[in-house]
Amino acid sequence: MHELSICQSIVNTLKSHAEDHQFSRVLCLRLDIGQFAGVEVEALRFCFPVVALGTLAEEAELKINIVPAQGWCDNCQRTMTMQARYSPCMNCGSHGLTLSAGEDMRIAEVEVE
C-alpha cells in the first residue's frame, strides 16, 4: 500500500512549509489527483488521519479532487478527455493519443492557522 508513504510525504511537506511560512496547524488540505495517477483514493483517505496523528495536520479536513485524464491526438490535433489509458480518439478513431494530463498528484490548496 504505497498510499501510506504518500501520506507520509504529504505530512513531511506540510511540516517543511510550516517552518518556512510560520504556521502551526493545517485546517484543510486539498489534493488534486489525476485519474490515472495510480492512487487508491479510499486507501489515501484511510491512511491520512493515521499518519497525521500527533502532527500539525492531525485534525485537517482532507478534500480530494479527481482530475480527468486528457489526451492529445497526433492525428487530428485535438485534446480530449480519456476514459481509459488506451482509448482511441473520440474524433477520428486514431490510437495515437498522448496522455497530457491525469497522471500527477499535487497539493493544490492548504488552509492554515
Q: What would the pLDDT profile of 20-58 be if each residue is shown by its tens digit?
A: 999 999 999 999 999 999 999 999 999 999 999 999 999
Q: At residue 110, what is the residue type?
A: V
| pTM confidence score | 0.88
96: confidence class by pLDDT, cuts 50, 70, 90: confident
Q: Does 7 appear as a known binding residue?
A: no
Q: How many domains is the chain partitioned into structurally? A: 1
Helices 3-21 and 41-52: crossing angle, nearest 10°? Answer: 50
% of the chain residues with pLDDT over 70: 99
State which residues form the domain around 88.
3-112
Q: What is the average pLDDT across 5-19?
A: 96
Q: Does 28 appear as a known binding residue?
A: no
Q: How far apart are CA 67 and CA 102, in angstroms?
A: 6
Cell output for 113: 492557522
pLDDT of residue 86: 86
**Residue 1 predicted with pLDDT over 60:** no
Q: Does 47 appear as a known binding residue?
A: no
CATH code of residue 12: 3.30.2320.80
